[in-house]
A = this chain, B = another copy of it.
Amino acid sequence: MRLSRFLLPVLKETPSEAQIASHRLMLRAGMIRQEAAGIYAWLPLGFRVLKKIEQIVREEMDRAGAVEMLMPTLQLADLWRESGRYDAYGPEMLRLTDRHERELLYGPTNEEMITEIFRAYVKSYKALPLNLYHIQWKFRDEQRPRFGVMRGREFLMKDAYSFDLDEAGARRSYQRMFVAYLRTFARMGLTAIPMRAETGPIGGDLSHEFIVLADTGESVVYCDKRVLDLPIPDETVDYAGDLTPIVEEWGGRYYAATEDVHDPSLFERTPEDQRLQTRGIEVGQVFYFGDKYAVPMKATVTGPDGVERPIHGGSYGVGVSRLLGAIIEASHDDAGIIWPDAVAPFGVGIINLRAGDADVDLACETAYAQLQAAGLDPLYDDTDERPGGKFATMDLIGLPWQLIIGPKGLKDGVVELKRRATGEKRTLPMAEALAELTRL
Contact = CB atoms under 8 A, between A and B. Distances in A.
Contacts of A113: 35, 41
A5 B36 contact: no
Given A7-B67, A41-B71, A141 B98 contact: yes
A65 interface: yes
B73 A73 contact: yes
Contacts of A143: 99
Contact of A67 (B37, B44, B72): B44
Contacts of A70: 41-42, 47, 50
Contacts of A130: 5, 7
A5 B121 contact: no
**Which of A39, A74, A130, A154 gathers most chain B CB within 10 Å?**
A74
A12 interface: no
Question: Quick one: copies of this chain in the complex?
Answer: 2
A35 to B, nearest CB: 6
A411 interface: no
A72 B6 contact: no
Nearest to A92: B99
A297 to B, nearest CB: 14
Interface in A84-124: 91-92, 94, 96, 98-99, 102, 104, 106, 113, 116-117, 120-122
Given A41-B113, A94-B98, A113-B41, A72 B154 contact: yes
B72 A33 contact: no
**Which of A65, A94, A113 gathers most chain B CB within 10 Å?**
A94
